[in-house]
Chain A
Amino acid sequence: MLSDVIAAIATPPGRSALAVIRVSGRGAHAIAATVLRPFAVEPLREARLTEAVGADGEPLDRPLYVVYRGPASYTGEDVVEISTHGGLLVPAEVLAALGAAGARPAAPGEFTRRALQNGKLDLLQAEGVADMIDATAPAQRRAALSQMDRGLSARIERLREQVLEVEALVSYDIDFPEEDSGPVAPERIAAATTTLEHALEGIRGTARDGERLREGALAVIAGRPNAGKSSLFNALLGSERAIVTEIPGTTRDAIEAPAVCDGFPFRLVDTAGLRESEDRIERLGIEVSRKYLSAADLIVFCAESGRDLSADEEKAIGEFPAPVVLVRTKADVRGGGEGVAVSVHTGQGLAALRAELARAAFSSLAVRGDVAPVVTRARHRAALERALVEVRGFTAARRSGLEAAVAATHLRAAITALEAIIGVVAPDDVLGRVFATFCVGK
């Protein structure tokens, strides 16, 4: 049932001035016409006032509606968008009336799925839409937007072209052995391959930050018991999530919460302080802390201001597997010590800490000053890795003395890997490239 009519409230539930109900599918216009009176398909893409009536003929609301005719619509199908008054009741009643008229409630993401199926979006754009909807931090939104705009698709397409260029050089040699230009110099193929490798590495290099950008960087707050970790956690979050007492070992389990620092998304984790403990529950908590620490993108290490770090602390910092931001807590009590001085009571140093966290977790993106386009999904990274492995395989095979014609199998595999990201099957245009580059015609 791929083109049956679906309907859903497109805006978030709850109190609001307006709500938008979207109806899409074959027959969407007819179904809308039974609920909206008056209703006319034309003029398309123009907001008009109408009345929505329930199944029993009772007036529900006086909404605006806009009609789209497929394929010129978001989903590629016939679409009606109805702007009702907000709140919980009115949009739900209008939706129910549409249901009575034959529309089915849409499954999550179904509109986008249809847009994808109808060729309105490519796979990357669809993923961008999903990310856009999920985005909580401005940087996430910017990355998702650029992906929707085909920024990433365009970049992957360019990479594919670059592989095709190398493949064309090899193919020219095989398919046109008696031409004017003579054989292609191996150095030319090697140089093009190196450029390609660098380009692939470059975009793959954004994957770590990109995935972090999509999922939030895992920043784990660590330090000795009672170092002020939970207070800092609450301060960064802007709410009292963790229980704070002056009793060391209060935090037993790790608490994870999303936070935005300087526009970048974090998954902030408050952990139990690290110490030898006789308390069984606290020991379990410390175990959990260690697991978080080993998976962290960033460790926020808390130590009170105005004292030297202990040998144990120095050792712990040295052994953490992720970059460490050292925070000197309780800076209002007494100052001093290496690290970012912070007081959760006065707010001193919090802005500087947020900036430092953003820099430490998203350095490459922050430097770029622009988050587009980056690889934001593990799927993309895996495909890029495959492409890179194949391109390197080509180089290695050539070095081992294998003929280019045989080694070119790697290039074709790399092209396939990249095509899997953008989900586009294009006719093999290696020959097009050859004809554009070389004068052939024996």
Chain B
Amino acid sequence: MKTDFDVIVIGGGHAGSEAASAAARLGARVLLMTSNLETIGQMSCNPAIGGIAKGTVVREVDAFGGVMSRAADRSTIQFRMLNQSKGPAVWAPRAQCDRSLYRRAVRSILEEQPNISFQQATAAALLLEAGRVCGVQAMDGRQFTSKAVIITAGTFLRGRIHMGTTTQIPAGRAGDAPAIDIAEQLESLGLEVGRFKTGTPPRIDGRSVNYAGLDRQDGERPDYRFSAFGQTDRPDQRPCWITWAGSDVKTIINNHLQESALYGGAISSRGPRYCPSVEDKVVKFPDAERHQVFLEPEGLDTAELYVNGLSTSLPPEVQVEMLHAVPGLESAVMTRPGYAIEYDFYEPRQLTPWLEVKAIEGLFFAGQINGTTGYEEAAGQGLIAGINAVRRLNDVEPIVFGRDDGYIGVLVDDLVTRGVDEPYRLFTSRSEFRLLLRQDNALKRFGPLAAKLGMLTPAELGVLDHRLGQEQEIVSSARESRLSVAEAPALLANAGRNAAASPQTVADLVRQPDLSLKALLGAVHGPSFGPFSDEAWVSAEIELKYEGYLAREREAADRLTELASFSLRADLPYSDMKSLSTEARQKLTSTRPGSLAQAGRIPGVTPSDLQNLVFEVIRRRATAA
């Protein structure tokens, strides 16, 4: 059947952009439809990309020629490499971005893809036929047909903004209408829906801030780029400012607690523990004397500041009172009040590990609709949905990332296996393989797959080969080169007794914490070695320095892969498997894991359940044969 498009993406946020881009890079005819074309790539909350684990996701998306990395590079106005003191294995890049530059960059990057069409239209309903999706009905009456649909609705599904206990505004984001019709249709299809809340802090006019007593935080690493593909110039740089909320703010919050939407009873849905409102911080940690507040620039062409750390659902007048109690903000003008927003999400255990809705063929969900928060988490899901929507219409095996492949694999597996009971955000603690999943090796982890899928341009393939080749060259040289104390007395002065005795390979020497690979190989080869990119040096050094630890994680990952290779069919009659505990039967029935490894991560499924599951499956296979 001829359709208007191969893939329709509903929503133009961070999930939608990546989904559209990935599908287009795979050659699909893509329609990106959104209620407002002006807000494609809009950062609805804080003006920053990256951070802990999230920065790594940006790099993983980049390995597939993604949008987020390049848009961030074009709009970075302050950059920090977090965790620099904790070793390169956990470095986390984070960029403050000019909100408007970022948005424009996303739009223009998407428009570089000839296969993407844009339509300003609000989706009213999915067109369905015999349990499969076949297009989208718009509010204005137009119909668009397609073989797959990806919904990336963000906080728009029956979104409701709360300020205090009396002000409630139906909205998907401040100033934008919510999506009601399609939300009602999705629920009527029998999908399990829940409500989450999240919040955003007030913004202020930077011209009304007294910076005299505040800590200025400038950016660093002017050379760093999220994208491996092209060194775009950074725009002008701006500092962030650090102040704090102390006992005065606590007093104000305690006095007005009942007026907060959260504590006054207007909101009952779960919010994220890691991104609490300032009310939450004061109530749950009453002993904390002060809470840091970061003033982050909204952009180059505005003085407006984002007040990070004061997310709140108090009434606007209390927010002003609270702001004025913060040092430096005594006479600050609040430009936009903070608010809490409640929205629909769909229990993600209803999805396959490639983010297709199990009950409706061809329908994919990505981003906050799956119960996550964060631009990066959304982008990662968008990538998975985009790739697999195209694979669905080409009728080829889906692509699933493993937990040891990348944070995107961890994220999607956590969602579809464990489900969510609060808005889900990535942390390094979510991964069993913190050292394997680094920002520096994302290209190495995913670049070859992206190349194999055909998602990279010839120029990008060249960059990939060059970058990985350089790293390989450095590592090989380190394994082959030897150095003795006599040859490099200053460098190896503290290199320990072994090095003193006989020459050691550079690969062995670099395991000592204070020795750098570049210095060691420099001592061996002199200036003729290289030049190599900093990125190649960093990765090579980490691989060698932490070789033993990486090998241990790799072993653990291999054990997991073994379990993952024991696949479980979607139609296994778990409820008949009496050797499993009742809880395991219920959990397995509702989750329907794809592999033994996934089954093992379901809370309530014990090792003895797994053992019995193996017996049951083997017996069934024997009976069937």
- Residues of chain B within 8 A (CB-CB) of A427 are 418, 601, 603
Residue in contact with A441 in the complex, picked from B90, B281, B580, B583, CB distance below 8 Å: B281
Residue in contact with B276 in the complex, picked from A171, A176, A440, CB distance below 8 Å: A440
Q: Is the CB of B292 within 8 A of A180?
A: yes
Which residue of B is nearest A114, CB measured? B579
Do A425 and B82 form a contact, CB below 8 Å, given A2-B615, A171-B429, A401-B514?
A: no
CB 8 Å contact bits of A406-439 with B (1 = contact, 0 = none): 1011001100000000011111101100110001
Which residue of A is nearest B274, CB measured? A440
User: A403 at the A/B interface (Cβ < 8 Å)?
Assistant: yes
Give Cα A180–Cα B246 distance, bound, in whole angstroms.
Answer: 11
Question: From DSSP, what is the main secondary structure of chain A's interface residues?
Answer: loop
Q: Is the CB of B275 within 8 A of A171?
A: no
Q: Is the CB of B281 within 8 A of A439?
A: yes
Do A428 and B606 form a contact, CB below 8 Å, given A2-B579, A117-B579?
A: no
- Residues of chain A within 8 A (CB-CB) of B579 are 2-3, 114, 117-118
User: B432 at the A/B interface (Cβ < 8 Å)?
Assistant: yes
Instruction: Tell me, rounded to whole Å, the shortest Cβ–Cβ distance linking B41 to chain A.
Output: 23
Do A406 and B87 form a contact, CB below 8 Å, given A2-B578, A179-B292, A412-B432?
A: yes
- Residues of chain B within 8 A (CB-CB) of A441 are 274-278, 280-281, 291, 309, 311
Q: Is the CB of A402 within 8 A of B513?
A: yes
CB 8 Å contact bits of A201-231 with B (1 = contact, 0 = none): 0000000000000000000000000000000
Q: Is the CB of B603 within 8 A of A426?
A: yes
Instruction: Tell me, rounded to whole Å, the shortest Cβ–Cβ distance linking A92 to chain B.
Output: 28
Q: Is the CB of A175 within 8 A of B549?
A: no
Q: Is the CB of B292 within 8 A of A405?
A: no
Q: Is the CB of A442 within 8 A of B606?
A: no
- Residues of chain B within 8 A (CB-CB) of A116 are 608
User: B208 at the A/B interface (Cβ < 8 Å)?
Assistant: no
Give Cα A440–Cα B82 distance, bound, in whole angstroms.
Answer: 16
Give Cα A119–Cα B605 distance, bound, in whole angstroms.
Answer: 9
Q: Is the CB of A119 within 8 A of B292?
A: no
Q: Is the CB of B608 within 8 A of A401?
A: no
Which residue of A is nearest B286, CB measured? A439
User: B525 at the A/B interface (Cβ < 8 Å)?
Assistant: no
- Residues of chain B within 8 A (CB-CB) of A408 are 434
- Residues of chain B within 8 A (CB-CB) of A404 are 86
Q: Is the CB of A119 within 8 A of B600?
A: no
Give Cα A118–Cα B281 distance, bound, in whole angstroms.
Answer: 42
User: A71 at the A/B interface (Cβ < 8 Å)?
Assistant: yes
Q: Is the CB of A423 within 8 A of B435?
A: no
Instruction: Tell me, rounded to whole Å, the shortest Cβ–Cβ distance linking B65 to chain A.
Output: 29
Do A423 and B87 form a contact, CB below 8 Å, given A406-B549, A428-B429, A442-B294?
A: no
User: A252 at the A/B interface (Cβ < 8 Å)?
Assistant: no
Instruction: Tell me, rounded to whole Å, the shortest Cβ–Cβ distance linking A2 to chain B.
Output: 4
- Residues of chain A within 8 A (CB-CB) of B86 are 173-174, 177, 403-405
Give Cα A2–Cα B290 distance, bound, in whole angstroms.
Answer: 59
User: A76 at the A/B interface (Cβ < 8 Å)?
Assistant: yes
Q: Is the CB of B274 within 8 A of A425?
A: no
User: B589 at the A/B interface (Cβ < 8 Å)?
Assistant: no
User: A26 at the A/B interface (Cβ < 8 Å)?
Assistant: yes
User: B183 at the A/B interface (Cβ < 8 Å)?
Assistant: no
- Residues of chain B within 8 A (CB-CB) of A46 are none
Q: Is the CB of A406 within 8 A of B89?
A: yes
- Residues of chain A within 8 A (CB-CB) of B168 are none
User: A77 at the A/B interface (Cβ < 8 Å)?
Assistant: yes
Q: Is the CB of B311 within 8 A of A118?
A: no
Give Cα A33–Cα B288 distance, bound, in whole angstroms.
Answer: 67
CB 8 Å contact bits of B311-333 with A (1 = contact, 0 = none): 10000000000000000000000
Do A403 and B87 form a contact, CB below 8 Å, given A175-B52, A180-B292, A440-B274?
A: yes
Do A425 and B435 form a contact, CB below 8 Å, given A175-B52, A409-B552?
A: no
- Residues of chain B within 8 A (CB-CB) of A118 are 579-582
Q: Is the CB of B428 within 8 A of A171?
A: yes
Give Cα A179–Cα B583 distance, bound, in whole angstroms.
Answer: 39
- Residues of chain B within 8 A (CB-CB) of A430 are 429
Residue in contact with A403 in the complex, picked from B89, B285, B288, B514, CB distance below 8 Å: B89
Give Cα A122–Cα B608 distance, bound, in whole angstroms.
Answer: 9
Q: Contacts A76-B581, A427-B601 known; list 16 others, CB within 8 Å.
A: A2-B615, A77-B578, A117-B609, A119-B606, A174-B86, A177-B86, A405-B87, A405-B89, A409-B434, A423-B607, A424-B607, A426-B603, A430-B429, A434-B429, A439-B285, A439-B288
The 5 closest A-B pairs by CB, nearest first: A403-B87, A119-B581, A401-B513, A439-B285, A2-B579
Q: Which residues of B contact A (CB under 8 A)?
A: 52-53, 82-83, 86-87, 89-90, 92, 273-278, 280-281, 284-285, 288, 290-292, 294, 308-309, 311, 418, 427-430, 432, 434-435, 512-514, 546, 549, 552-553, 578-584, 600-601, 603, 605-609, 611-612, 615-616
